[in-house]
Amino acid sequence: MFVEITAPARSAPSAPLRRRRPGSVAPYLYLAPGLVLLGIWVYRPLAQTAQLSFYSWNLLPTSPMVSAGLGNYTRLFTLPEFGESIGRTIVLVLGLLPFTVVVPVVVGLLARRVRGRTAVLYQTLVFAPLLIAPVAGAAVWQWLLDPRAGAINQVLGTTTNWLQEPGPAQLAIVVITGWHVLGFAVLVVAAGLAGINDDYSHAAAIDGATRGQITRWITLPMLSPTLVFLVLMTVLLSAQWSFPLIDTLTKGGPAGSTTNVYYLLWDYGFHSFDAGLGAAAGVIFFAGFGVLAAGLVWLSERVAFHDN
């Protein structure tokens, strides 16, 4: 005899409870002040610059802003100094690369062999230019480069007017800027070298590798992400680094030979009082440097992935 028993009704499955992790909100709270300030001081002025590039305005509060459409961009590409400033910026970047990449690597490798008090003195001499204000350093360099009583001409035995001739003036700006940023670059390279595990070089030395081979095939490849970062900083900030020196020593001259893109923007805005033209140039330079930065960041990631 079989007795039929009705199966109990199944209750609908309850939705799984999502447990919020205790620290999931905390990172955003820490980032919030920085993001707010970034929006206020970076992205809001950037949006205002893009808007201003479509207007004609002489920076006077009593003067109205007149819509210019794409006129500022069209006029900008017809000005010869615009293309010339780009060329001078490229020359400046190429001239600074030895000071931000080559010399810091050599100094960083040599500094690893220095010990004791000598290492402290060595580091102080390298980092000292980084602590000097650019305007104060420019005043000293102006005295050193004096064509009559300057120490540079006395040492070289020449009478070159370093700040009043196009070629020497451009060379002087490159050297002085490189002298100022050398300490920063050496600091970055030293940090990169400190992050390299010594076990690799010790293992290579046991296998019979020389010091030069260890540097060439182990140290430099593992330091490549740091070097790409320095190249990125040089490309993006070289014109900004040189601005106080140019404004103090040459005023963009002689004959515009030291006017790079950063100084050109300042000249359009505060010498010519053409805010719309300066804003249009700023938008173009921002887009161009953004593309270069994206390419260098991609290269840095590829190099870091290859090293890992």
SS3 state of residue 55:
strand
Q: Give the start-to-end residue ranges of the domains of the chain.
A: 66-307
DSSP-derived secondary structure for 257-291: TT--HHHHHHHHHHTS--HHHHHHHHHHHHHHHHH
Q: How many CA atoms lie within 13 A of 238 on its CB side?
A: 28
CA-CA distance, 159 to 167, in Å (whole number)?
A: 14
Q: 175 falls in which pLDDT band (50, 70, 90)?
A: very high
pLDDT at 213 over 60: yes
Supply the pLDDT for residue 129.
83
Q: For residues 38-52, give the mean pLDDT.
A: 90
pLDDT at 303: 66
Please write the tens of the pLDDT for every residue from 69-108.
Answer: 888 999 988 888 888 999 999 999 999 999 999 999 988 8
- Determine the pLDDT at residue 289: 87
For the cut 80, the answer to whether the pLDDT of residue 20 exceeds it is no
Q: Which helix (H) or strand (E) holds 67?
A: strand 66-67
pTM: 0.81
Print burial letters for 254-277: b (CB count within 10 Å at least 16), e (below 16).
Answer: bebbbbbbbbbbebbbeeeebbbb
Which CATH number does 66-307 carry? 1.10.3720.10
Q: Can you tell me the distance from the alpha carbon of 285 to that of 41, in angstroms, rounded to the nearest whole number?
A: 19
In this predicted model, which residue has the larger pLDDT, 5 or 31? 31
Q: What pLDDT digit, counting tens, does each position of 220-231 carry?
A: 888 888 888 899
